[in-house]
Chains A and B, each alone.
Chain A
Amino acid sequence: MFSALRPSLPALIRFARTPSIGRSIVSLLAGAILLLLAVNIATFVMIQRTAAFNDQVERSQQVRRAARTLLISMIDAETGQRGYLLTGRQDFLEPYTRAETAAPVQMEALEELAAGDPELRPHVESMVERGRDKLAELERVSALARTGRNGEALRLVQTGQGKALMDRIRADVAAIDEIENVRLESRTLQSERGSRLTLWANAFAGLLIVLLAGIMIWLVRRYVEEIQTARDTLDRLNAGLESQVRERTAQLTRANDEIQRFAYIVSHDLRAPLVNIMGYTSELEQAGQVLDRQLARIETDAPKALDAEAATAVREDVPEAIGFIRASTGKMDRLINAILKLSREGRRALLPELLDMTAMAQGIADSVRHQTGEAGAEIVVEPLPRLESDRLSMEQVFGNLIDNAVKYLDLARPGRIVVSGEDEPGGWVVYRIADNGRGVSPRDHERIFELFRRSGKQDRPGEGLGLAFVRNSVRRLGGEITVESELGKGSTFVLKFPTRLTLEESGEAA
């Protein structure tokens, strides 16, 4: 039993040490049960005491009755003897003879009752003794009367010895009565006090129990209220959280819109000065040609007047400067167009549909066939899982990545580009575009996705736009793109998309 309890002991101690509603209720219940137990014990004791008291009352009554019975027997005996003396008739003696036989039995009973009672015994003993004396006296008188010596008998009565004995007996009976009366009174008093005490104790315990019950109800109520309050707070917080998320999302969407608008406005505003630069460069060029024609005329008409330095300036320096300005403005124009394209693509509404990716990738591979053919490379399209997404964006993403793979093949070995893919648990699809091209150095793995940034040998045309555009589109479609690559070995671009593109109200991926 104890060993079975042992494992739960630490838990019990912990329970008892931690202030909690459970502990309060358990201790209150324990208090109430203890109180009930105490009241029960008190009542039990009281019942026992009442029973004892009843016994004692019964005993008192017996003693008194026995004493009185004896007294009555003695009086009967005396009465019978006196009647016989007066009348001489034998039948008047009958009460005496009856009492004479009854008295000894009654004496014995009385003595038995008084045995072990030091207070009663002296009186009982004296009464019994006097009774015997009285009986003896009566016997002597009646014996004299029976033998006809009535005068002698009367003289014996006249001595008053018999009366004195009777008086003493009466006094003894009165004393016994008195003792029993006193006892009865004190016991009644005790009993009354006891029952009053029990009553008070009961009332007090009842009150305490009601109080404990009240405290318990209050505790439970408070506890329930606390739980309710906590739940309300939680509900409120939850609701707040939802609206907060909505608000943040709206803020983000706004910020995103603003950035796109900003890109759009900036690129337009940048265009205006560019028009001037290009325009006046052309005007300068035309002016230069006018000057050149003038120089040519001077050269034929008066070669000596021609300043060699002026000729160099007009025929070499100016065209060179104009060439650089043209190239730079051309590049700037392409960059601005790139930003515009990105911003415009970001504003295009997405239209999810079920896409046969194998056919799409194969179509893109076919469209670059002439380039791969020239380079002696091959593109392998493995069966790809289908997905539900925006067709145009997916075509652009795959087109850009396959174009890149072809563009950056390593000419030292035959190119091989593999497009593969599989479903992933949790509603995702993964596509891989792997090449054995020149690869990307690890420190550029993040950089290649940034706008206008390029990696490795800059021997291919490009603005550093494709991958930035790809990442932008992939993110818009709710996916992500990573690259695994080693310089000189090849690159694998890993695309991960949700199997189903779900759009929010704003038209962005959920």
Chain B
Amino acid sequence: MSNPVKIVMVEDDHGHARLIEKNIRRANISNDIVHFDDGGTALDYLFSEEVRMNGPMLILLDLNLPDMSGTDILARVKGDERLRRAPVVVLTTTDDKVEIQRCYDLGCNVYITKPVDYESFAGAIRQLGLFLSVMQAPDID
């Protein structure tokens, strides 16, 4: 992953956030990770001029947020002329078929169900990290 790509993580569960971060780091990904624990501040940040001007990024999105559904954020991001280029990885506990379909319809790039079993969880995140390390993210502007 080319260095300047920023990882924006929207995840209300701090434990999950920490576990995700740990396992991404274990995959030798050293990119900046910005964490938000609710949808409102995450949207404020994503739609601020500073972020929109500031190069490529990747969004890790949880669907079950306290103030809004992750799909709302997904819709806003994918509906924006510039932000929609940012790859969005939905990382959530929900494995409902309808929900998965809806996310892909809205333009999500990858949908990952968090495995409850920690070995699988850690494995999945590490693989995501490996995936991120070879992935090309487009410039936003």
Q: How many A-B residue pairs have CB under 8 A?
A: 48
Q: What sequence of 0s and 1s flags, for each residue 254-273 of chain A, a beta carbon within 8 Å of any chain B beta carbon?
A: 00000000001000110111
Q: Which residues of A contact B117 (CB under 8 A)?
A: 278, 333
**How far, in angstroms, from A264 to B96 measured CA to CA in the complex?**
9
Q: How far is the CB of A476 from chain B (nearest CB, A)?
A: 19
For chain A, the count of residues having a C-beta within 8 Å of the partner chain is 16
A275 adjacent to B116 (CB under 8 Å): yes
B19 on the A face (CB < 8 A): yes
Given known pairs A279-B121, A281-B118, A333-B117, the reply for A271 and B15 (CB within 8 Å) is no
In the complex, which residues 263-301 of chain A have their Cβ closer than 8 Å to any Cβ of chain B?
Answer: 264, 268-269, 271-276, 278-283
B93, B114, B119, most chain A CB atoms within 10 A: B93
B19 adjacent to A279 (CB under 8 Å): yes
B94 on the A face (CB < 8 A): yes
Q: Which residues of A contact B118 (CB under 8 A)?
A: 275, 278-279, 281-282
Contact for B64 among A268, A276, A280, A333, CB less than 8 A: A268
B61 on the A face (CB < 8 A): no
B15, B16, B118, most chain A CB atoms within 10 A: B118
B139 on the A face (CB < 8 A): no
Chain B residue nearest in CB terms to A340? B95
**How far, in angstroms, from A275 to B93 measured CA to CA in the complex?**
9
Q: In the complex, which range does the number of interface residues on chain B fall in?
A: 10 to 19
Chain B residue nearest in CB terms to A280? B15
Q: Which residues of B contact A280 (CB under 8 A)?
A: 15, 19
Q: How far is the CB of B61 from chain A (nearest CB, A)?
A: 15
**How far, in angstroms, from A279 to B14 measured CA to CA in the complex?**
12
Q: Which residues of A contact B122 (CB under 8 A)?
A: 279, 282
**How far, in angstroms, from A269 to B13 measured CA to CA in the complex?**
11
Given known pairs A272-B93, A333-B116, the reply for A278 and B121 (CB within 8 Å) is yes
A272 adjacent to B96 (CB under 8 Å): no
B96 adjacent to A275 (CB under 8 Å): no
Contact for B116 among A269, A278, A283, CB less than 8 A: A278
A-B contact pairs, 29 of them (CB 8 A): A264-B96, A268-B93, A268-B94, A269-B64, A271-B114, A271-B116, A272-B13, A272-B16, A272-B64, A273-B13, A274-B116, A275-B13, A275-B16, A275-B19, A275-B93, A275-B116, A275-B118, A275-B121, A276-B13, A276-B15, A276-B16, A278-B116, A278-B117, A278-B121, A279-B15, A281-B118, A282-B118, A282-B119, A283-B22
Excluding A275-B118, A283-B22, 9 further A-B contacts by CB distance (< 8 Å) are A268-B93, A272-B64, A275-B13, A275-B93, A279-B19, A279-B118, A279-B122, A282-B118, A333-B117
Tell me the A residues contacting B by CB distance below 8 Å: 264, 268-269, 271-276, 278-283, 333
Tell me the B residues contacting A by CB distance below 8 Å: 13, 15-16, 19, 22, 64, 93-94, 96, 114, 116-119, 121-122
Q: Which 3 A-B pairs have the closest CB atoms?
A: A276-B15, A282-B118, A278-B118
